[in-house]
Amino acid sequence: MIALVRHASPLGELSLALRGDRICGLAWTDHFARVDRALTRRFRDAERTSGRAPTEVLHRLDAFFDGELAALDGIPLDLRGTSFQRAVWEALCKVPAGRTTTYAELARAAGAPTAVRAVGAANGANPVSLVVPCHRAIGTDGSLTGYAGGLDRKRWLLAHEGARFR
């Protein structure tokens, strides 16, 4: 069963999908359709229901937006993807708040130094925005590049974390 929950944030409403106490989907509600399609593929037989998120998860989301930047570290996740996607997502999780990385650096960290475009695709397929911090990936020249939640949100998140970008 997948429980669907909505939660307010300073950047708009978030939609969360949970299997037990693990997040399997997280995105802003106005961009959740992409995550929802991926959930349907990854959890074919899972029934959907309205639910409640564990209080700790909601407190940690609120704490992040209140400035406790490490609050999202270690939130339990139920990620499903290809081995390459998981390698990229694991590399993203090692980028601390306040720092950025490039797609080329992520490709090297994932063990495929020439797969920069594939890293971009894996980043775009990230089902748990914020917790797997895909907003921390920027262009090699320091410029902001695509973000499933929109570049305004990416800019806000990076500024909130104190990261440098162009």
| Whether residue 24 lies in the annotated active site | no
SS3 of 90-134: the string is: HHHHCCCCCCCEEHHHHHHHCCCCCCHHHHHHHHHCCCECCCCCH
Catalytic residue among 17, 24, 122, 134: 134
Query: What is the identity of the amino acid at 74?
Result: G
Catalytic residue annotation: 134
